[in-house]
Amino acid sequence: MGNSINMALSGTSQFNSLSSWTPTRLVGAVINLILVVTGLIFFFLLLFGGLQFILAGGGSDKQGSQRAQKAVTGALIGLLIVFGVYAVIVLAGNFLGVNLLVLNIVNV
């Protein structure tokens, strides 16, 4: 009767690293998440505008094709803005010698 079963789980899991998150690391992760989500949104808007243009018959339905052209133009401008912001962040980080997407703030 002295036999006991050890039901303890091993100490390694995917959530062990959550305790090492700092506010600065969280800000970097949020910035990355915002860039990815907005990029995906504008990409799907681009696909939706292209589909609208195809369904409008290319040019036979003037109002539908103009609406689709505005959607495609807006999506392309949005993608350019998102990629431009990312490029500015990376270039500024390289120029300043810091990784702006990680944001390591040193206490003075």
Rounded Cα distance between 55 and 101, Å, is 41
The yes-or-no verdict on residue 108 having pLDDT over 80 is no
pTM: 0.65
Asked if 35 and 85 count as a contact pair (C-beta separation under 8 A), the reply is: yes
Using left for φ > 0, alpha for ψ between -120 and 50, and beta otherwise, residue 4 falls in beta
Average predicted confidence (pLDDT) for the chain: 78
Q: Where are the domains of the chain?
A: 33-96
* pLDDT at position 76: 92
* pLDDT at position 35: 86
pLDDT tens for each residue of 51-62 = 988 888 766 778
The pLDDT-based confidence of 89 (bands split at 50, 70, 90) is confident
Helix runs in the chain, H state only? 23-55, 62-96
Q: What is the arithmetic mean of pLDDT over 92-100?
A: 80
* pLDDT at position 9: 54
